[in-house]
């Protein structure tokens, strides 16, 4: 069959919803990055951006971004770091990141997705075995796809399942003369549960493996200093390869990996997506330096974030909502309903209550379930939280009375 004919017929798991483009999919949020933005000309309370600490639009950060852009332009430096795109500023940010994460060294990557894929790819030889959590982000799944050796997947955050997979992986690794890399996340972004890092590490008493952690949602939000899930669970030293993106708490672009000197140097020289791609542009490096300095020196940002997280999560729980297993800022609200009801409910939330949040349905979660995901941030207010809980109570009432199934009801 002709490739273009096939894709004209089968638009893919997300493409099949392209009829709702601009509304349910590829919606455009306008105005300043904040707790309230404009959606289709109306003000909405925004719960769907990972600007956890509000740094993305902090006035001091905006000023630093502007000054750095004026100074460097958007092109500098040109080329990959290996060829012509290296600067002292890149090393300065790496040094600060390593210090913050209490690791020997750190290396910047231009996009988290590409960076972690390449890190997985270059760390593993075909003799090695990778063991990863079924709930891992697409970038990890894609990284694992590039691995030409054996792979094992364990049930999400299920240590018994990991134990079984590690037993099998150990056998294969011994036969092949390779090693084992276990991959989990600091916080799983859909349901907000932290990876059980402590329990994973305890399995070292039985098996020999290295641990990589994607802490995209934990960086800046968890741990006494904001170092992440490793600090929160008191296992930072046991994480061999730590990864976080600047796309969440830092409100920017770029990412990094941190670990011991040998590992980071190896990554620096072998991550194909970095060796053969343009380096992170200087305004982003300068902007991220500023953000990191603020993240480290202003604990009030994280304190306010958690005040809001606790207010939102306890308010929703008191109102009888099921928040599942979250133990992070990610606030999922589970409800029962069909895809049809889910669409009408989200429309109702946006149009009639001015509440904008992400929705997740089958096949990401079981059929008949609706997951509304709220991301509280430092810049949300008590009014935002109160209004949202009132709105959630109202939509739940409609859902339970089957109102969304009635023709034309929105
Ligand atoms: C868990 C996780 N890992 C990696 C990434 C990719 O990072 P980036 O946006 O920097 O490519 C994301 C999304 O931002 C993520 O949620």
Q: pLDDT tens digit string along 8-23?
A: 999 988 888 888 899 9
Contact by Cβ (8 Å): 156, 140: no
| pLDDT at res. 27 | 95
| pLDDT at res. 17 | 84
Strands of the 358-360 sheet, one edge to the other = 331-336, 369-374, 358-360
| pLDDT at res. 14 | 84
Q: How far is CA 34 from CA 55, 144, 294, 357, in A?
A: 10, 36, 18, 14
C-alpha 245 – ligand 1 centre gap (Å): 6
C-alpha 232 – ligand 1 centre gap (Å): 20
* pLDDT of 194 over the 70 cut: yes
For 203-236, write each residue's pLDDT tens digit.
999 999 999 999 999 999 999 999 999 999 999 9
Mean pLDDT value across residues 360-367: 84
d(Cα 343, Cα 341) in Å, to the nearest integer? 5
Mean pLDDT value across residues 301-314: 98
* pLDDT of 133 over the 70 cut: yes
Atom of ligand 1 nearest to the CA of 139: 4
Share of the chain above pLDDT 90, in %: 93
* pLDDT of 407 over the 80 cut: no
| pLDDT at res. 228 | 98
C-alpha 177 – ligand 1 centre gap (Å): 32
Share of the chain above pLDDT 70, in %: 99
Q: Which of 116, 137, 255, 257 to mutate to test the pocket of ligand 1 (most atoms within 8 A of CB)?
A: 137
For 106-122, write each residue's pLDDT tens digit.
999 999 999 999 999 99
| pLDDT at res. 363 | 79
For 29-69, write each residue's pLDDT tens digit.
999 999 999 999 999 999 999 999 999 999 999 999 999 99
Mean pLDDT value across residues 179-200: 97
The 3-state secondary structure of the chain, one letter per residue: CCHHHHHHHCCCCCHHHHHHECCCECCCEECCCCCEEEECCEEEEECCCCCCCCHHHCHHHHHHHHHHHHHHCCCCCCCCCCCCCCCHHHHHHHHHHHHHCCCCEEEEECCHHHHHHHHHHHHCCCCCEEEEECCCCHHHHHHHHCCCCEEEEECCCCHHHHHHHHHHHHHHHHHHCCCEEEEEECECCCCCCECCHHHHHHHHHCCCCEEEEECCCCCCCCCCCCCCHHHHCCCHHHCCEEEEECCCCCCCCCEEEEECHHHHHHHHHHCHHHHCCCCCCHHHHHHHHHHHHHHHHCHHHHHHHHHHHHHHHHHHHHCCCECCCCCCCCEEEEEECCHHHHHHHHHHHHHHCCEECEEECCCCCCCCEEEEEECCCCCCCHHHHHHHHHHHHHHHHHHHCCHHHCCCCC
| pLDDT at res. 13 | 84
Atom of ligand 1 nearest to the CA of 254: 10
**What confidence category does residue 70 fall into, taking pLDDT thresholds of 50, 70 and 90?**
very high
| pLDDT at res. 409 | 64
* pLDDT of 178 over the 90 cut: yes
Mean pLDDT value across residues 134-140: 97
* pLDDT of 375 over the 90 cut: yes
* pLDDT of 175 over the 80 cut: yes
| pLDDT at res. 100 | 98
Give the max Cα distance, the chain. 64
| pLDDT at res. 364 | 81
C-alpha 185 – ligand 1 centre gap (Å): 11
Residue with CA closest to ligand 1 atom 14: 247
Count of CA atoms in the C-beta half-sphere (13 A) of 400:
8
Kindly report the CA angle at 356 between 355 and 358, in degrees rounded to 5? Answer: 135
* pLDDT of 138 over the 90 cut: yes
Output the pTM of the full model: 0.97
Phi/psi for 390 (5° steps) reads -60, -45
């Amino acid at each position: 069959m002709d490739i273009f004919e096939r894709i004209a017929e089968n638009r893919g798991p997300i493409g099949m919803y392209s009829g709702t483009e601009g509304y349910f999919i590829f919606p455009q949020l306008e105005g300043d990055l904040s707790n309230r933005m404009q959606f289709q000309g109306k003000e909405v309370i925004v719960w769907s951006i990972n600007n956890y600490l509000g740094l993305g639009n902090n006035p001091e950060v905006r000023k630093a971004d502007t000054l750095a852009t004026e100074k460097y332009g958007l092109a500098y430096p040109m080329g990959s770091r290996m060829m012509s795109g290296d600067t002292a500023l890149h090393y300065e940010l790496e040094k600060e990141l390593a210090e913050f994460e209490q690791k020997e060294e750190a290396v910047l990557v231009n996009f988290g997705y590409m960076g972690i894929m390449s890190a997985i790819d270059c760390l593993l030889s075909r003799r090695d075995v990778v063991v990863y959590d079924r709930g891992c982000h697409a970038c990890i799944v894609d990284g694992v796809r590039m691995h030409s050796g054996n792979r094992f997947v364990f049930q999400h955050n299920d240590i018994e399942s990991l134990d079984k997979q590690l037993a099998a992986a150990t056998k294969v690794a011994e036969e092949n003369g390779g090693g084992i890399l276990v991959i989990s996340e600091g916080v799983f972004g859909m349901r907000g549960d932290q990876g059980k890092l402590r329990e994973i590490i305890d399995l070292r008493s039985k098996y020999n493996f290295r641990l990589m952690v994607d802490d995209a949602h934990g960086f800046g939000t968890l741990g006494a200093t904001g170092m992440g899930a490793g600090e929160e669970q008191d296992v930072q030293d046991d994480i061999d390869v730590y990864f976080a993106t600047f796309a969440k708490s830092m409100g920017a672009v770029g990412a990094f990996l941190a670990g011991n000197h040998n590992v980071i140097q190896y990554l620096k020289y072998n991550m194909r997506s970095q060796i053969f791609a343009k380096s992170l542009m200087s305004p982003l490096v300068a902007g991220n330096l500023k953000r990191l300095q603020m993240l480290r020196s202003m604990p009030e940002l994280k304190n306010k974030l958690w005040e809001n997280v606790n207010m939102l999560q306890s308010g929703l729980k008191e109102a009888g909502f099921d928040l599942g297993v979250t133990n992070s800022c990610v606030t999922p609200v589970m409800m029962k309903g069909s895809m049809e009801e889910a669409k009408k409910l989200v429309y109702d939330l946006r149009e009639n209550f001015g509440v904008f949040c992400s929705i997740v349905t089958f096949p990401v979660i079981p059929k008949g379930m609706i997951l509304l995901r709220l991301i509280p941030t430092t810049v949300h207010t008590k009014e935002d939280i109160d209004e949202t809980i009132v709105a959630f109570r109202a939509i739940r009432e409609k859902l339970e009375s089957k109102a969304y199934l009635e023709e034309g009801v929105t």
